[in-house]
Each structure stands twice: as C-alpha cells, then as structure tokens.
Amino acid sequence: MNLPETRGKLTPNAPLAPLVWFKSGGAAEWLFEPADADDLASFLAALDPATPVMGLGLGSNMIVRDGGVPGVVIRLGKAFAAVEQLDETTLRCGGGASGILVSSKARDWGIGGIEFLRSIPGTVGGFVRMNGGAYGRETCDILVECDIVLRSGERRVLANADLGYTYRHSSLPEGAIVVSATFRGFAKPSDEIQAEMDRIAAAREESQPLRSKTGGSTFKNPEGHKAWVLVDAAGCRGLRRGDAQVSEKHCNFLLNLGEATSADIEALGEDVRARVKAQSGVELEWEIQRVGVAK
C-alpha cells in the first residue's frame, strides 16, 4: 500500500492488543499517529479513497478481532489531548483527551455538569461519536460543537443539532475523526464538583470490575430494561467460554481472564444474547464496537 507523506508516525503491522482494554486481537495494517489536525487532514486527503480508515481512542469499548484491522487505524496522541477554558462555563477539548482529564480541568475551573465524564474510560472523540454517558448525563447534554476531519480530508465543524443524537448513537459521518469538541457546563464550586466525582468513582469501584481486562458495558440497555438484569435473569452471571467470562461482579461486563482470544470474547457475547432472547424475548444490542476481521 502506498501511503502519503506525513509529519506524524506511521507503523506497519502494529499490534493493537496492547492498546485495547481486552488485551486481545490482531494488528493494524497501518497505525497512524498524526502530528496535528492539519497533518491528519492532508494525509486523509491524499490517501486512496478505497483504503479503510478507523479511529482508535483508549480502546476501552472495543473488540479487535483476531485477524486484525485492514487499512489505517488512526490514534490521536498528546497533540490532541489539550483542554482549554474558553469562558466561565465552556471548554474546548482535544479529541484524544480522556474523560478523567476533561472532568478534572472542569473541576479546577469551577465548571459543573461535566463530572460524569470521570466515569467513562474513553476519549472525547469516542464520547462524541457514541453519545457516551453515565449517571444520568450524556455527551449530547454538554456538547456545543465538534471539529472533525472527514474521510476525504475535509475539515468541518458540526453543531450538536447536526449529530442526530440518540441513546449511544450519533450520525457522525463514517470514517470521520473528531479532532476537538466544545463542551458547556454551568458554574459550580470546585469542592462540590470534586465531591460528585468522588461519589461517581466510588460507585464505579463498588459495582464494576475495573481492575480486570474488560471492555466496559457490553450491551445497550433495551427500552424499559437494564441489560445486566436481563443477563442475570438468563443465568449468564459467571458464564465462560475458554478464558472469556461474564463478570460475576457486574454481568453486563465481559472479562478476559488470561488468554482469551477476541473470538472467545465475541462468541461469549453472542451466547449471552441468545440466552437472553430465549429467556425474555428481548434482543440485546451490542454497545461494544467489534472491528476487524476474524482469523
């Protein structure tokens, strides 16, 4: 594959397992870490339009299949992790900034309403694309606009209303990379923000298997239901396939107990979906993104 010139870093056959929370899966045909947004835009503009492109954040909500990912995987590094204050209640955040960094900066500047990002193990780009949310708040509640680079290399600014937000979904164009987002909260004392962040962190620690190789919430909550309740009622708590297991602590989480392949993890998820459908008639929808090709 002939790739365009870049000021960033291009790595062929780059292992992705170390970059995702499940610690499983194959390699990227190419891993591209752009120097800045202009570098990303010029690279995509010159890249063969037939070449697949995929963005990768913290890899927390993703199964990378064992055959790897064809084309170019784009990972936004430190150049995209800055968070700046625009006014009393508004932040501009790089697409590679983590939820912990964004919520901590908001706390320092007395901006409330952003605390929930503390609990989501991902980056701003992923929050915008998936309408990431937790503890009663979602990205659509705070997003003003986002700066994106389309697959064609075109730069564009999209307002909240342009993104067609629904539960864990946006209409962000396929292949678009979010290079920054503007969030707006409200004035709130920093100590109250910290107390709320502490409450969220404690609740997550108590209820979720945070110290395991996992992918976060596996299935979306169906209308009128909690996914974990359906999974539990179907007898799936602790269910295993090889080294892949449904968490006993929170059964909407899948775990890699050691040497599980991505095929094991995905197949376990399908086992759970089948059992829930048979037991309750409800069809669970994957929340975790599954990418690449099977081996």
Residues with Cβ within 8 Å of residue 117, at least 6 apart in sequence: 99, 100, 102, 103, 127, 132
User: Nearest CA to 40 among 84, 12, 75?
Assistant: 75
Residue 219 to residues 49, 202, 287: CA-CA distances in angstroms? Answer: 32, 23, 5
Catalytic residue among 92, 118, 129, 168: 168
Residues with Cβ within 8 Å of residue 262, at least 6 apart in sequence: 22, 24, 25, 26, 63, 64, 65, 66, 292
CB atoms within 10 A of CB 52: 13
| 287 in catalytic set | yes
Burial track 21-46 (b if 16+ CB lie within 10 A, e otherwise): bbbbbbbbbbbbbbeebebbbbbbbe
Q: How far apart (Å, rounded) are the C-alpha atoms in residues 161 and 165?
A: 8
| 192 in catalytic set | no
Catalytic residue among 217, 241, 266, 275: 217
| 170 in catalytic set | no
CB atoms within 10 A of CB 215: 25
DSSP per residue over 20-84, as a string?
STT----EEEEEEE-SSHHHHHHHHHHS-TTS-EEEESS-SSEEE-TT-EEEEEEE--GGG--EE
Q: Which residues are catalytic?
A: 168, 217, 287
